[in-house]
């Protein structure tokens, strides 16, 4: 018997999701969208993936992977369960659910760039139909879902909460982390209306172990920003502590390890050469930008951003001093950068501080090479270019460089080999815990 208190479309949608007869549409098949696709396929759903990159679509339809930590076997299994990828946005009316997983970068003025989200929404709109749930997962400032997506849906005469259901559920992927997976990471979800929230809970509850409902899309949007600002501020703090400890001739990594033995009231964060990835260097500025609308100045967040942004220059100054002490200048020195992905054991280059380190050193006249088993060829990037390939780490090769700059601590590196043959190592990741004559900690 039909529940008269529920909109008819909501009842039909939740039933299809519960019975796993719904078709799930994922728009954007990158580091967020692809794992989510595989999770829905694993949960017994047919999935239609939509991406503007034709080469990605072709590879997926052949059962191939283009992300290191996503096995091709998982894609082949999803294909056998009905997963299909396409570049055809006219098929947006087929799925019962549409989940947007596209980038939200900053523009050159460090302001939010919603072009990917808005262009994707505009591409979907002409083909959407009543009875669908639309979820935005892309990180953004509070108000985006209601201020940008809701009016666009209403311009097509959809009534939000009656015949179309709109939610925001921030992605929480951590590429390369073996301890957490899409299924086991709790999913925050906020809806524009109570009916929208019910649709969102039904959508994610069918594939994710735990759904955490919040009162609005704005609360869900701010939740994601708080998570990443928390990390950015604490990393900024520990980076500042690293500079102080260095001046005092204290090993910050020894201090962090000692502090981490406290069983309450302390969470260890680790310094590095700068922030990388698609979240932590970017997301705080989404809130900073939006806060200005309310006459607020986010001093704490911006100070952490300044500290983190300065870290590549501080690392290069440490490298410069270390070379000077050996009677060498940066200009003309041969520098090998170990690891250019933004974090260990992934191939993701987005906002990698290693690239900024390479550019600073190149501008100072150094001859720069890199070694990274996850990035065999330096990729095409919008703002950076090096015509380089990853070099093989042999004893002879390592010994040929004036300095090895350890920027990303991949598990695949033979650190004993590097320590044995490098004349100078600048370690930004605390890999070498003992005091060694050829290691400078930065």
Quick check: helix, strand or coil at residue 189? strand
**Averaged pLDDT of the chain:** 94
Strand arrangement of the beta sheet that strand 46-50 belongs to? 84-86, 46-50, 23-27, 97-100, 132-136, 164-168, 187-191, 211-214
Statement to judge: residues 357 and 286 lie in one domain: yes
User: Is 107 a member of any domain?
Assistant: yes
In the listed set 188, 215, 242, which residue is the last one of a domain according to the structure?
Answer: 215
Q: pTM (2 decimals)?
A: 0.91
User: Is 398 a member of any domain?
Assistant: yes
In SS3 terms, 199-215 reads as: HHHHHHHCCCCCEEEEC
Percent share of the chain, pLDDT over 70:
99
User: For residue 4, what pLDDT is reported?
Assistant: 59
Q: In Å, how far are 125, 127, 439 from 92, measured between CA atoms?
A: 8, 6, 55
Statement to judge: residues 385 and 241 lie in one domain: yes
Statement to judge: residues 179 and 263 lie in one domain: no
Question: Among candidates 188, 317, 186, 302, which has minimal Cα distance to 242?
Answer: 317
- Tell me which H or E stretch contains 164: strand 164-168
The DSSP code for 110 is S
Statement to judge: residues 182 and 271 lie in one domain: no
User: Is 249 a member of any domain?
Assistant: yes
Quick check: helix, strand or coil at residue 160? strand
Please write the tens of the pLDDT for every residue from 277-322. 777 888 888 999 999 999 999 999 999 999 999 999 999 999 999 9
User: Is 162 a member of any domain?
Assistant: yes
Q: Give the chain's count of helices (H) and strands (E).
A: 15, 13
In the listed set 190, 215, 240, which residue is the last one of a domain according to the structure?
Answer: 215
Checking if the pLDDT of 35 tops 60, the result is yes
Checking if the pLDDT of 5 tops 80, the result is no
Residues whose CB falls within 8 Å of the CB of residue 370, separated by 6 or more in sequence, listed in order: 336, 337, 338, 339, 340, 354, 358, 378, 386, 388, 390, 391
Domain count, the chain: 2
User: Is 176 a member of any domain?
Assistant: yes
| CATH number of the domain residue 21 falls in | 3.40.50.720
Question: Among candidates 131, 165, 174, which has minimal Cα distance to 145?
Answer: 165
Statement to judge: residues 168 and 199 lie in one domain: yes
Backbone angles phi, psi at 208, to 5 degrees: -115, 140
Statement to judge: residues 298 and 199 lie in one domain: no
Please write the tens of the pLDDT for every residue from 351-385. 899 999 999 999 999 999 999 999 999 998 777 78
- Tell me the residue range of the domain where 59 lies: 8-215
User: Is 396 a member of any domain?
Assistant: yes
Instruction: State both tokens at 111.
Output: 């302001």
Please write the tens of the pLDDT for every residue from 255-274. 999 999 999 999 999 999 99
Statement to judge: residues 189 and 238 lie in one domain: no
Checking if the pLDDT of 111 tops 80, the result is yes
In the listed set 215, 247, 264, which residue is the last one of a domain according to the structure?
Answer: 215
Rounded distance between C-alpha atoms, residue 127 and residue 148, angstroms: 18
* DSSP string computed for 212-254: EEES-HHHHHHHHHHHHHHHHHHHHHHHHHHHHHHHTT--HHH
Checking if the pLDDT of 1 tops 60, the result is no
Beta strands in 35-140 (DSSP E): 46-50, 84-86, 97-100, 132-136
Please write the tens of the pLDDT for every residue from 174-231. 877 788 889 999 999 999 999 999 999 999 999 999 999 999 999 999 999 999 999 9
User: Is 164 a member of any domain?
Assistant: yes
Checking if the pLDDT of 426 tops 70, the result is yes
Checking if the pLDDT of 433 tops 90, the result is no
Statement to judge: residues 17 and 143 lie in one domain: yes
User: Is 281 a member of any domain?
Assistant: yes
| Catalytic residue numbers, as ranges | 279
Strands 334-338, 367-371: pairing is parallel
């Amino acid at each position: 018997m039909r529940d008269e208190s529920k909109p008819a479309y909501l009842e039909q949608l939740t039933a299809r999701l519960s019975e796993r007869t719904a078709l799930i549409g994922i728009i954007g098949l990158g580091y967020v969208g692809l794992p989510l696709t595989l999770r829905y396929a694993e949960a017994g759903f047919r999935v239609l993936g939509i991406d503007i990159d034709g080469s990605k679509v072709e590879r997926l339809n052949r059962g191939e992977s283009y992300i290191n930590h996503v096995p091709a076997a998982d894609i082949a299994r999803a294909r056998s369960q009905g997963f299909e990828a396409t570049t055809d946005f006219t098929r947006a009316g087929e799925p019962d659910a549409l989940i947007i997983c596209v980038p939200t970068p900053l523009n050159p003025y460090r302001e939010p760039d919603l072009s990917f989200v808005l262009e994707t929404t505009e591409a979907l709109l002409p083909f959407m139909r009543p009875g669908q749930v639309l979820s935005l997962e892309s990180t953004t400032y509070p108000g985006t879902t209601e201020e940008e997506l809701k009016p666009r849906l209403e311009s097509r005469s959809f009534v939000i909460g009656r015949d179309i259901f709109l939610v925001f559920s921030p992605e929480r992927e951590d590429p390369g982390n073996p301890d957490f997976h899409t299924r086991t990471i709790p999913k925050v979800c906020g809806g524009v209306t109570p009916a929208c929230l019910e649709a969102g809970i039904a959508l994610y509850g069918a594939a994710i172990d735990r759904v955490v409902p919040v009162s609005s899309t704005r609360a869900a949007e701010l939740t994601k920003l708080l998570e990443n600002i928390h990390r950015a501020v604490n990393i900024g703090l520990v980076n500042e502590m690293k500079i102080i400890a260095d001046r005092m001739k204290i090993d910050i990594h020894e201090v962090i390890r000692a502090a981490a033995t406290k069983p309450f009231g302390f969470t260890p964060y680790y310094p590095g050469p700068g922030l990388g990835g698609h979240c932590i260097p970017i997301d705080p500025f989404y809130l900073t930008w939006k806060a200005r609308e309310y006459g607020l100045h986010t001093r704490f967040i911006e100070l952490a951003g300044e500290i983190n942004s300065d870290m590549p220059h501080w690392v290069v100054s440490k490298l410069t001093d270390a070379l000077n002490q050996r009677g060498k200048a940066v200009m003309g020195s041969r520098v090998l950068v170990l690891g250019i992905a933004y974090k260990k054991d992934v191939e993701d280059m987005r906002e990698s501080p290693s690239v900024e380190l390479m550019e600073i050193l190149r501008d100072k006249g150094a001859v720069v090479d890199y070694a990274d088993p996850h990035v065999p060829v330096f990729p095409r990037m919008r703002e950076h270019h090096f015509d380089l390939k990853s070099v093989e780490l042999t004893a002879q090769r390592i010994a040929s460089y004036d300095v090895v700059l350890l920027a990303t601590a991949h598990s695949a590196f033979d650190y004993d080999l590097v320590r044995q043959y490098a004349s100078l190592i600048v370690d930004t990741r605390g890999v070498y815990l003992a005091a060694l004559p050829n290691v400078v900690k930065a």
